[in-house]
Structure 1
């Protein structure tokens, strides 16, 4: 294995552009890591271009995205830490379950197969995509009001609006449909190998005020790993919503991740 700083691969979820990880990239580089934040398959390089061409990412599936990031990781000179938010968290879990990555951090991770709680707030947060079955193969954008409910509910109205205008992009609706139907589909793409014993350690993070992935969902996700001897831990952040990676308190989350990595010698 090559010498040098440990790579970190950041994976964003739906409705945020890869550039939203830039503060984390700077912070992790200063801490001695080698971070990158690739976009999803076919994601335009800037927020502006992504908004101008929403169909570029339409119909991207969970497996499409997972394979895309696995290919990127295969080109690195050593096994990385994988850090994902929302559907990026689900992808992080899938990759770690495939034996990819030295460690994983899944922040407010989207619901995997086997997780049963489906709170009303989560249903409402998913309605912009799930409310119309024709969206399955489309890219969908959030309105500012929808973003505030799903992401910015724990923020001031102004901060939520600022994040919305800076980093939101259209995203494929297909992963939401796949996750919503996961428990009714035999070979769901939202299935994760939670029994693997030889994977790297996994940290799950939840915000207790999250509407899009409520804390009860992340706690249920933790239970899916109960039969594995591999390290799986949960850290909860009181009063934080789904915006916790991009709002003014992002550094609290980033520092908690860095502390956890240090604890595990990664």
Structure 2
């Protein structure tokens, strides 16, 4: 039996480079790998990117990836980070993937914060005006506190400098799903029979384990939840990521 194709999905403000360490690992193991990106995320920061991303929705990104998956000969295993993990869940609900590995997945509709730091992040967005009409970039101090908090300062700067802008509408759909009239991130759990592995870094402040587990629990027997000690939101870029990748590989081979 041939090994499944692997498709890597990145998070917000990013592009395929954030999944490159995992892609190299799986390619070295003989897997066929793909790293598609969402619309306009290949554009450099600037006016063209800003205007292209303004108003873009998670639904647009899901359509982009669903279109890419339609070009493959078989249903792949998707390994998604953050927003990529959320998109993997939406694809699973459509029956488009064979399995999903979700690295610190963003929350889906119905998932509520369980920590004060999550609530503080939401309040920060509330004070930012109509950010859903904008295309925000990354703030280093915020990113270092919430997403890169277990990394050396030098690596924090390197990652932040490579991240880019993102559609404010996408961020609105992530953080304020309860006000999203389109319910973009809503999932019909009765339609999901795809095995999903939720990997949650113990030090992730964006989607901490206590919140991630409430999301995983909604899938019942189709979800496996693992808390990874000492790891942050971007744990696929941390030193020792090979151990995490091997854990993913072992799970993929078991399902």
Same fold (TM over 0.5): yes
Counterpart of 1:260? Answer: 251
Q: Distance in 1 between matches of 2:103 and 2:177?
A: 20
- Report deviation, 1:168: 0.9
Contact 2:199/2:228 (8 A) holds in 1: yes
Counterpart of 2:31? Answer: 33
Counterpart of 1:204? Answer: 198
Query: Taking structure 1 as reference, are residues 185 and 127 closer, same or farther at Cα in structure 2, changes over 3 Å only?
Result: closer
Counterpart of 2:149? Answer: 153
Contact 1:98/1:193 (8 A) holds in 2: no
Contact 2:201/2:229 (8 A) holds in 1: yes
- Structure 1: tracts of 5 or more residues without a match: none
Q: CA RMSD in A?
A: 2.2
Is residue 15 from structure 1 mapped to residue 6 from structure 2 by the alignment?
Answer: no
- Report deviation, 1:118: 4.5
Which secondary structure state, in structure 2, belongs to the residue aligned with residue 205 of structure 1?
strand
Q: Distance in 2 between matches of 1:161 and 1:9?
A: 27
- Report deviation, 1:23: 1.8
- Report deviation, 1:181: 2.5
TM-score normalised by the chain length of structure 2: 0.90
Q: In the TM superposition, what are the counterparts of 1:1-266 in structure 2 within 5 Å?
A: 5-44=3-42, 49-50=44-45, 53-55=48-50, 56-125=52-121, 130-165=126-161, 167-185=162-180, 187-197=182-192, 199-226=193-220, 229=221, 231-264=222-255
- For residues 184-226 of structure 1, the C-alpha deviation after alignment (integer angstroms, 9 at most, x for no partner) is 55651011222225x3211111011111111111011012113
Contact 1:80/1:101 (8 A) holds in 2: yes
Query: Taking structure 1 as reference, are residues 162 and 180 closer, same or farther at Cα in structure 2, changes over 3 Å only?
Result: closer
Aligned length: 254
- Structure 2: tracts of 5 or more residues without a match: none
Which secondary structure state, in structure 2, belongs to the residue aligned with residue 83 of structure 1?
strand
Query: Taking structure 1 as reference, are residues 130 and 174 closer, same or farther at Cα in structure 2, changes over 3 Å only?
Result: farther
Q: Distance in 2 between matches of 1:99 and 1:123?
A: 33
